[in-house]
Amino acid sequence: MRQPLDPDMFTECETVPSPIRVGDKWTVKIVYCLRDGPRRFSELQRPLRGITPKVLTESLRAMERDGLLSRTEYAQIPPRVEYELTALGRSLLEPIAAGCAWNRRYLADLRSARQAYAERAVRG
């Protein structure tokens, strides 16, 4: 017989928001874009197809708040801002690499499972 799940298993998590935002759509991609060093906002937009400037700004601010990246403003004309991973942000590179390796290995299986599910759903 299996042990029941502890009803209080997430109690500590309820008192504060999730400590990091790696589960959202953009954080992992932003971390990956910054892996080789600082980048400007416009440089980040290019590979992040589909992200709006507003969402990129919100994501960068949240990542800065969480200590994953630093934002450096340069007093020049035109103004220049760069974003760079902190040591905490760089610590995500290894688990992200593991996730990418998993994705490469199992993407075909995942797609097959999704297709089979969709076909079952259509048949009702």
How many CB atoms are closer than 10 A to CB 91?
12
**Would residue 115 count as lying in a domain?**
no
Q: Give the total number of structural domains in the chain.
A: 1
pTM of the prediction?
Answer: 0.77
What CA–CA distance (Å, rounded) separates 44 from 52?
11
What's the mean pLDDT in 14-30?
70
Locate tokens 């960068």: which residue?
A: 60
CATH number at residue 51: 1.10.10.10
Whether 114 has a pLDDT exceeding 90, the answer reads yes
**Would residue 28 count as lying in a domain?**
yes
Given strand 39-40, what is the order of strands in its sheet? 39-40, 80-85, 69-74
**Span 53-79, pLDDT tens digits:** 999 999 999 999 999 999 999 998 988
What CA–CA distance (Å, rounded) separates 105 from 123?
30
**Would residue 83 count as lying in a domain?**
yes
**Would residue 1 count as lying in a domain?**
no
Give me the pLDDT at residue 84, please: 98
* Domain that includes residue 52, residue range: 11-91
**Would residue 63 count as lying in a domain?**
yes
What CA–CA distance (Å, rounded) separates 119 from 110?
14
Average pLDDT taken over every residue of the chain: 88
